[in-house]
Chain A
Amino acid sequence: MSDMQSQDYVRRSATTMTPPKARSHEDQVAKLIDVSRCIGCKACQSACMEWNNLRPEIGHFEGSYENPMDLGPSVWTLMKFAEYENEQGNLEWLIRKDGCMHCEDPGCLKACPAPGAIVQYANGIVDFISDKCIGCGYCVKGCPFDIPRISKTDHKSYKCTLCSDRVAVGLEPACVKACPTGAIMFGSKTDMTNWAGERIEDLKSRGFAKAGLYDPPEVGGTHVMYVLHHADKPSLYSGLPDKPRISPVVELWKGIIKPLAVIGIAMAAVGAFFHWTTIGPNEVTEADEAEADRVLREKEEEST
């Protein structure tokens, strides 16, 4: 979104130095999405479009409540509807508001090659600073949740900002504001975790023994959390990853290979230079020329 000086960076993409941290004493925020209280009204989707001035192209009816069918450069949050037949043979309609999870250890930020195009604020929000984005699509590869989408018109990557602009001035995100059932809550991560605990107790008392909080530790926890009735099977909810993690392929690429390659190439060049200064050039001498000439003369005499 935008470069907000009021929220300080704790992480900055493609940056080898520590970002300014002096003003980083801030509460960690979190959005809590209580799937069990969602009625699928899509007010959050509309509010998101409204606040962020997003107008996705009008598509076609695809035979599903899901509309549009996927996240996009102008679709930062999307209600996903899954029909699940439980063990008792009853139908459960599992509705999940999809969007950026704001990982504590963001894979997009790790993969991004453009300095400062992806930042994480002290409050935990992961934000795209679009004017620095180069449109390479590496964030798509880094993300464990398949969230960022690259625009075909401006070649920039987009996703939910957690309304960083609103949060910076003490407002809750637009989707939270619009939710009519209180299924989306916003506050400090501690408060949200406590509140989720109460909700989970309640769900358990109503027969959802596996109810729980989705705050995956594999990515250091997330700043968007879900209360799930089936926390043992997150993938029931339109493919929410059971064990999200930054792909080991990305870890390898952006971990050890990156510095090693630069050092390796530099060493090759330095090695070449020192070969030049110790062993030196391999030159052709007068003797070589004389020898070559002698051979040529012999050949000529042979043939005459």
Chain B
Amino acid sequence: MTRPANAITRYTTLNRVNHWINAGLFILLVLSGLSMFHPILFFLSGLFGGGQWARAAHPWFGVLLVISWIGMIIQFWRANLPSKDDIAWSKEIVHVITNDDEHVPPIGRNNSGQKLVFWSMTLLIPVLFVTGLLIWEVYFGEATSIPVQRAAVLIHSLAAICAILVWVVHVYAAIWIRDSVRSMTQGYVTPGWAWHHHRKWFYQLAASRRVSKTTPRKNP
């Protein structure tokens, strides 16, 4: 890939591969899950070969997603730990949304919105997994009582709706903050991007000399 000499690596190859496996599974889950949620979306089951197939495949996608998400947690939990900056940043959320970046306080590697996406998913995916197992008719249909399954299916759908809303925010934010998508497809951002969006992170990198100015160092 054509990578500028001064590019900053934001996501490693492993980060990216894991993320896109996760993204693929999540999309499959959303499509198959929504097909069983509202009749106007039942046609989505056709993408999986029909209702029976969508019903059969959905829980397996879920199992794979849990494995994939464990990988995401291992790689990203540290970068998503809350910090003091989150409060200051969150207070200026109106300026964030209106692209008024002059009034947004500098933030580290991840901002509070990104952390919220990470922690929401880290909470919701286990909830979806456990409630999903309880309503997995083929293997666990008789494992629990019907009232338990009723509660599980309600919690499962509510958690799924929350996860989809978080996902919509996540996808739009990636489109809105230009060149974020490239950081997850090709792995790098420019120094200007880091300076603009994650200034504290940029200063950390500059201080630890993990980033070079326009002319790259010969022997890093």
Which residues from chain A sit less than 8 Å from chain B, CB to CB? 14-16, 113-115, 132, 134-138, 140-141, 146, 150, 152, 155, 247, 249-250, 252-253, 257-259, 261-262, 264-265, 268-269, 272, 275-276, 279-286, 288-293, 295-297, 299-300, 303
Contact = CB atoms under 8 A, between A and B. Distances in A.
A262 B137 contact: no
Contact of B37 (A115, A137, A150, A261): A261
B112 interface: no
Contacts of B39: 14-16, 113, 115
Contacts, number: 169
Interface stretch (B16-24, B61-69, B78-86, B163-171): B163-171
A269 B161 CA distance: 13
Interface string B169-203: 10110011111000000000011111111000011
Nearest to B53: A134
Contacts of A290: 192
B186 to A, nearest CB: 15
Which size class do B's interface residues fall under? 35 or more
A249 B178 contact: no
Contacts of A303: 209
Contacts of B191: 289, 292-293, 296
Nearest to B101: A282
B103 interface: no
A135 B54 CA distance: 10
A-B pairs with lowest CB-CB distance, top 7? A289-B192, A134-B51, A137-B137, A292-B191, A272-B172, A288-B192, A296-B213
Interface of B: 6, 35-42, 45, 50-52, 54-56, 97-99, 101, 135, 137-138, 141, 146-147, 149-151, 153-154, 157-158, 161, 164-165, 168-169, 171-172, 175-179, 190-197, 202-203, 206-207, 209, 211-214
B3 to A, nearest CB: 15
B206 A141 contact: no
A15 B38 CA distance: 9
19 contacts: A16-B39, A113-B36, A134-B52, A136-B137, A252-B154, A257-B157, A275-B172, A281-B176, A283-B178, A284-B192, A284-B197, A288-B193, A289-B190, A292-B196, A293-B6, A296-B191, A296-B206, A299-B207, A300-B213
Q: Which interface residue of B141, B150, B202 has the most chain A CB atoms within 10 A? A: B150
A281 B41 CA distance: 31
Contacts of A136: 36, 55, 137
B169 A261 contact: no
Contact of B177 (A137, A259, A262, A282): A282
Contacts of A140: 137, 141, 146, 149
Contacts of A250: 150, 154
A288 B196 contact: yes
Contacts of B175: 276, 281
A268 B206 contact: no
Contacts of B137: 135-137, 140, 150, 155
A303 B97 CA distance: 37
Contacts of A288: 192-193, 195-196
A137 B146 CA distance: 10
A279 B97 contact: yes
Given A282-B176, A295-B206, A300-B213, A137 B141 contact: yes
Contacts of B54: 134
Nearest to B171: A272
A14 B168 contact: no
Nearest to A262: B38
Nearest to B194: A292
Q: Which interface residue of A261, A279, A281 has the most chain B CB atoms within 10 A? A: A261
Contacts of B138: 135, 152, 155
